[in-house]
Amino acid sequence: MSETLNKTRLYEKHVAAGARMVDFAGWLLPVQYPTGPIAEHHAVRKAAGLFDIDHMGQFMVHGEDALPYLQAVLTWDISTLQDNDAHYSLMCYDDGTVVDDVFVYRRGKDYMVVVNAGNRKKDLRWMTQQAKGYDVQVTDVSDETYMLAVQGPKAEAILQRITDIDLSQVPRFTSAAGRVAGIFTLLGRTGYTGEDGFELFFSADEAEHMWDAILDAGREDGLLACGLAARDSLRFEACFPLYGHEIHAEIDPISARLGYFVKTQKGPFVGRNALLKIRLEGPKQKLVGLEMVDKGVPRQGYPVLIDGEPRGHVTTGMKSPTLNKFLALAYVPAEHSALGTEVEVLIHGRAKKAVVVKTPFYVPVYRRKNQS
């Protein structure tokens, strides 16, 4: 059965380290190491964590029409990206539902678009289709590009030991190129954890060398290799969406409370009319944060009851390691989405009380005011 699953270049290393491997989007990846998902989560919030995220896809977009093309195919206003900027965006179908959520990196006149592993083929087909009539090339460079993430308050100090790039001059949501562990790397001050950190892009042939170099550099600071379970609990606390849960091909970003990234005022783009309509009329359902009042673990798909009737569903839920509470993200009817609304979540046949609370549960550190 594992013959049909993809392995990253670090597969043997993860297995040798005692990681539990699982199938994620057709890739065999570590869900946890012997340290366990909770210890790995705490390491990222307090020190640093290293993630093998090579399963993700990278597309290069270049050509005379790169900018107008991306403006047409993405919801964010790409014209606001200065050179070296990096930004989150969604890509929508005509009806406003989500093709994927992506990160766009501007490098001179070219752009790199980072996509979810599970959507890579679909995204390439979609983006290629949409490129007709534009003088632009969309090239999938995922196979030759390795991607790792180093996340946590110690990430900068750790990487600075092994790079010639002055990381103190690389602000959040920008990228820089240089050598890391002697390897030519593009690094973005970006990530999916809500902590400071970096995502590294470099030649796939150098994966093992880079992995070992970062582990060595970070050992004294408590850097841990982290798996998918920690990756999920970290992004969940920061309320970042995960495709297939909060966003998918049957929901629009307005309902998913990602309206900030939908710049309907920038001009035409795929899905704009549908999204404008939803924006003006108001979405029928909204993604909210829930805190369990009765204890229990809410999980994807569990019904949310309003007055005893199933009217919504959980998209992701868990016991939050940092906040030590049972929390969930869930879709509920818009008229029941106000803070303080009392609902119930059906867990193992029992209706357990929960309440709508403010999100994000954990405010990303780079979004906090009064940060020194």
Partner 1 sequence: MSDYVFMEDRRYAPTHEWAKVEGDVAVVGISDYAQHSLSDVVYVELPEVGRVVEKGEAVAVVESVKAAEDVYAPLSGEVVEVNEELPDNPEWVNEDPYGKGWFFKIKMSNPAEYEELLDVEAYKKVVEEEEH
Q: Please report, as ranges, the residues that interact with partner 1 according to CB under 8 A.
A: 20, 31-32, 36-38, 229, 233, 295-297, 299, 318-319, 326, 348
Q: Smallest distance from the beta carbon of 235 to partner 1, in angstroms?
A: 14
- In terms of Cα–Cα distance, which of 47, 10, 58 is closest to 30? 10
Nearer to partner 1, 38 or 204 (CB): 38
Q: Return the number of the residue (134 or 326) whose C-beta is nearest partner 1.
A: 326
Q: How far is the CB of 239 from partner 1 (least distance, A)?
A: 18
CB of 10 to partner 1, least distance (A): 21
Report how far residue 64's alpha carbon sits from residue 206's, in angstroms, rounded to the nearest whole number.
32
- Closest by CA position to 302, among listed 257, 354, 260: 354
> In terms of residues, how long is the chain?
372
Smallest distance, partner 1 to C-beta of residue 318, A: 7
Query: Shortest gap between Cβ of 299 and partner 1 (angstroms)?
Result: 7
Query: Which pairing describes strands 57-62 and 303-306: parallel, antiparallel, or unpaired?
Result: unpaired
Find the shortest distance in angstroms from Cβ 221 to partner 1: 23
CB of 281 to partner 1, least distance (A): 38
Q: Please, which residue, 289 or 296, has the CB nearer to partner 1?
A: 296
Q: How far is the CB of 246 from partner 1 (least distance, A)?
A: 19
Q: Is 27 within 8 Å of 48 (Cβ atoms)?
A: no
Contacts of residue 133, defined as CB under 8 A and 6 or more positions apart, other chains included, come to none
Nearer to partner 1, 269 or 326 (CB): 326
Q: Decide whether 20 or 46 has the Cβ nearer to partner 1.
A: 20
Nearer to partner 1, 195 or 232 (CB): 232
Q: What's the rounded Cα separation, in Å, for the pair 104 and 61?
A: 10
Whether 225 contacts 156, CB under 8 Å:
no
Is 22 or 276 the residue whose CB approaches partner 1 more closely? 22
Q: Which is nearer to partner 1, 161 or 319 (CB)?
A: 319
- The CB density around residue 56, as the number of other CB atoms within 10 Å, is 23
Nearest-angstrom CA–CA distance, 45 and 194 = 9
Q: Of 106 and 352, which CB lies nearer to partner 1 in the complex structure?
A: 352
Least separation in angstroms between residue 331's CB and partner 1 is: 21
